[in-house]
Amino acid sequence: MELRQVRYFLALAEECHFGRAAARLHVAQPALSQQIKQLERELGIELFHRSTRHVELTEAGHQLTGYARTLLAEAERARVHMTELATGHAGHVSVGFIGTATYDVLPRVARTVRARLPQITLELRGELLTPQLGEGLVTGAYNLAVFRSGAPAEGVRVTPLRTEPLVAVLPAAHPLAGARRIPLGSLAGEPFVIHPAQPRSAMYDRVLAACGRAGFQPASLVEVGETATLVVLVAAGHGVALVPESVQSLRLDGVTYVPLAETETVDLVLGRRTQRTSPAAEQVASVIEECVQGAADVVPPK
């Protein structure tokens, strides 16, 4: 039973007139009659009582009408859904975020995709490290990943999103907490709360390199995986930290964010596989780029 036959049957069932049904379908009346006869042969049962002046559904025809409407509705649903998939307006997209992009970028992306692309099922994972995200892109665990720049894994291409300065995170009671700007060297001798070295994170290397350029290495390191926990430990007096400026959107009592006198920056990039990227993933990638630009236009609270 072909969909064309189902459409022809349903038109005749609703019109109960070969001429009107043929005109509605924009086909010749003999072609309609031939298709109905073929359908009846395939099903092995008569669907219409015919006379020279009247066409009437048989009991089988009445029973088939419901199935026909359901078949055509499901076919249309399938067509629409395939179109949405092809244009990137439907599908499943998994996105991983580096910890320091979890607080400003991730919420914007979630809100925008929900409002603009409601047929896309979005799976978001935050507070991850760059090595995890790179590996997740290669294995297919993530369609897209927002992480700190570095040598991309094989089969992954990156798009620059933004460059932002590092700022110091100090306990609110720290002697330098009220300063408008501090030289990084003024934190020499302080314990540093930092993202873990194993697996080596982009921020771990960047923070130690910045300290080295300021002429010191931290007296001790307190390693923690999640950015929120890092800020909480600073608030609790376990040390100081360096974070990207956007982390200031994570407002916690007991800490102060202070700009550095030096220009120390980190880059944020969007990664995706070079092959097998779905249209839906490309749509979400465009949203991420837009949301990062929007976040950059907002001045973070000091």
- pLDDT digit string, tens, across residues 249-273: 888 899 999 999 999 999 999 999 9
Strand partners, 146: 97, 270
pLDDT at 198: 60
Neighbours of 9 (CB within 10 A): 26
pLDDT at 110: 94
Burial class (CB in 10 A: 0-12, 13-18, 19+), 287: buried
Neighbours of 46 (CB within 10 A): 13
- pLDDT digit string, tens, across residues 164-205: 999 999 999 999 999 999 999 999 999 999 988 765 567 888
Residue 261, token pair as written in the block? 């006198």
> Measuring CA to CA, which residue among 266, 128, 152, 126 is closest to residue 207?
266
Long-range CB pairs of 56-62 (<8 Å, 24+ gap) are: 56/16, 57/13, 57/16, 61/9, 61/13
How does strand 144-148 pair with strand 255-259? Answer: unpaired
3 state DSSP class of 236: coil
What percentage of the chain's residues is helix, strand, coil (to nearest 5)? 45, 25, 30
266 contacts 202 by C-beta, under 8 angstroms? yes
- pLDDT digit string, tens, across residues 194-217: 988 765 567 888 999 999 999 999
Residue 135, token pair as written in the block? 């590996």
3 state DSSP class of 184: helix
Average model confidence (pLDDT) across the chain:
90
Per-residue pLDDT for 297 more than 70?
no
The pTM is what? 0.72
Rounded Cα distance, 157 and 270, in Å? 8
Radius of gyration of the chain from its Cα atoms, rounded to whole angstroms: 31
Mean pLDDT on 125-151: 87
Residue 131, token pair as written in the block? 């090595």
Mean pLDDT on 131-150: 88
Concatenating the DSSP letter of every residue in 62-87 gives HHHHHHHHHHHHHHHHHHHHHHHHHH
- pLDDT digit string, tens, across residues 7-65: 999 999 999 999 999 999 999 999 999 999 999 999 999 999 988 778 999 999 999 99
Per-residue pLDDT for 299 more than 60?
no
Burial class (CB in 10 A: 0-12, 13-18, 19+), 70: exposed
